[in-house]
Structure 1
Amino acid sequence: MPAAKTASSKSTTAHTRHAPSLESIATRYHARLRTLDSTGDSLSDGVVVPALREAIVEGVLAPGSRLSEVQVAKQLNVSRTPMREAFAQLEREGLVTVLPRVGAYVRSVTLRDVEEIYTVRAALECLAVQLASERITSLGAAQLDDVIDMMRTSVDAGDAAAYVDALDRFYAIVMTIADNRTLQQSHASLIGPVRRLRRIAMAQGGRMRASFEQAVRIRDAVVNGTGDAQDLMREQLQRACEAALDVLKNAGK
């Protein structure tokens, strides 16, 4: 177990535009919950889980950070009631480790995690682009074009955080076009670890532009039905996996 840090630790990474606090992240989700007019029963799903997920993915809560129920609940402006359920959910997502009679910690990313997650991603996302190629509509093509424009703007600005947000949307649009609920649910279950690894991979020099150029090729294959969308997606994920592995290996030196 790495040296414990408190949940108030705020690490900065190469992928974040600012160094947000857990409190500021939680405030945004509270505001969103009020806008949606949700009930208190959804506090765990609406605030605690997504706020902690974002904080872990963005590096606000560093690997090895101890997550005190009392302290985290205070920072999230919630009671302790939803905390245990939220920790259990994040443990299922591979973002948190819960040790009986010890507590919860932010889970470190291992080389095996990277290899396993990208293997599963390849199976799901290669199928997704194949289905999307078969089911593409003019609306779907327009949505892909819009998100590609967003990605291009982020690349030109050198804004890796904005680029990854746009890349998340790109994959979400592909999944929507694919129109397979089981596939979408399976992919959604990986959302936390996938986003975390995307941000790690983007720390490698040149990775953002290479990712964008390949995404454009995938878009063209899906929209034009050229038949090579799966191969292009497989190449994209292989390169992303290699980038994430390289970043983690260099960090361990």
Structure 2
Amino acid sequence: MPSNKTAVKTTAAAAVSKHAKSAHSLDKIASKYHSRMRTVDASSDSLSEGVVVPALREAIVEGVLAPGSRLSEVQVAKQLNVSRTPMREAFAQLEREGLVTVLPRVGAYVRAVTLRDVEEIYTVRAALECLAVQLASERITALGTAQLDDVIEAMRMSVDADDPAGYVDALDRFYAIVMTIADNRTLQESHAGLIGPVRRLRRIAMARGGRMQASFSQTVRIRDAIVNQLPNVQDLMREQLDGACRAALDVLNDAGDSSDKN
């Protein structure tokens, strides 16, 4: 049996290894967004919007930064290859999206999502998104139809390729297009703060057998109801969200079962 000193060293080494792996992944994610910036000499605002926010958002959704992880301004800025200047605004934006919790005089943490969070989020999502599809069906245009068809094709390709990450990105775009067609700024702003906390759960759920295909089939029905201005569009949206909520709760319950066994 190893000594306590050996066990402590092993645990510390594992923690360092985990941090190094996370940092390396975050470096890779950040480099992708840096390459999209037009100039190296960018302002702090553009770096926050163009690099820091999307890189951290992706890292959180993909699980590179685990729920409960502390986000040090100094360490994260170094990993993202930016100064500390854009960090505070980026953390504030991610907090508005529900991905980060910022505690005064303590710091920022990756937000953990509970069963209650999921139930409450999907209850409010149902109210907002049912309204959104109703407004979209009343205001649909030829341009809106073309945008919906384009994103539906992207979703179809992700299903065929068995690509849950690509599918969830396309599904996000589908909701964004519906909100744009609905043309209600208050609705859009309210909705934006709800999606963040469940993105990671949704991505995990989509990798499970049958969930991605079921989601896609229902999304196509919602698209058809919007374009053809069918009276059951809200019912179809509610069915989609009921399935999504159950899938997200299953992910959390399974994670809890795994923790209990360890």
Q: Does TM-score exceed 0.5, indicating one fold? A: yes
Which residue number corresponds to residue 16 of structure 1?
A: none
Question: Is 2:258 the partner of 1:246?
Answer: no
Q: Given the superposition, is the C-alpha separation of residues 41 and 219 from structure 1 closer, same or farther in structure 2, using an over 3 Å criterion?
A: closer
Q: 1:149 aligns with which of 148, 153, 173?
A: 153
Bigger Cα Rg: 2
Higher helix share: 2
Task: Summarize the alignment of residues 96-107 of structure 1 with structure 2, pairs less than 5 Å apart.
Answer: 96-100=100-104, 102-107=106-111
Letter in 1 for 2:164: A
Q: Greater shift after overlay, 231-240 or 138-147?
A: 138-147
User: Separation in 2 of the partners of 1:226 and 1:88?
Assistant: 40
Q: Shift of the alpha carbon at 1:227?
A: 0.8
Cα deviations by residue, 1:9-39 (Å, 9 ceiling, x for unpaired): 539xxxxxxxx8211222222233327x963
Q: What is the TM-score with the length of structure 2 in the denominator?
A: 0.83
Q: How high is the sequence identity, in percent, across the aligned residues?
A: 81
Q: Given the superposition, is the C-alpha separation of residues 144 and 65 from structure 1 closer, same or farther in structure 2, using an over 3 Å criterion?
A: same
Letter in 2 for 1:89: Q
Which residue number corresponds to residue 136 of structure 2?
A: 132
Letter in 1 for 2:144: G
Task: Summarize the alignment of residues 86-235 of structure 1 with structure 2, pairs less than 5 Å apart.
Answer: 86-100=90-104, 102-235=106-239
User: Separation in 2 of the partners of 1:214 and 1:22?
Assistant: 34
Cα deviations by residue, 1:131-157 (Å, 9 ceiling, x for unpaired): 111111122112211211111111111
User: Separation in 2 of the partners of 1:84 and 1:8?
Assistant: 23
Q: Shift of the alpha carbon at 1:8?
A: 4.6
| C-alpha RMSD of the superposition | 2.5
Task: Summarize the alignment of residues 13-32 of structure 1 with structure 2, pairs less than 5 Å apart.
Answer: 21-32=25-36
Aligned residues: 242
User: Separation in 2 of the partners of 1:33 and 1:189?
Assistant: 26
Which residue number corresponds to residue 45 of structure 2?
A: 41
Q: Shift of the alpha carbon at 1:205?
A: 2.4
Q: Given the superposition, is the C-alpha separation of residues 231 and 54 from structure 1 closer, same or farther in structure 2, using an over 3 Å criterion?
A: same
Question: Is 2:22 the partner of 1:10?
Answer: yes
Contact 2:201–2:251 (Cα < 8 Å) also in 1: no
Q: What is the TM-score with the length of structure 1 in the denominator?
A: 0.86
Question: Mind listing any 5+ residue stretches in structure 2 that lack a counterpart?
Answer: 1-14, 258-262
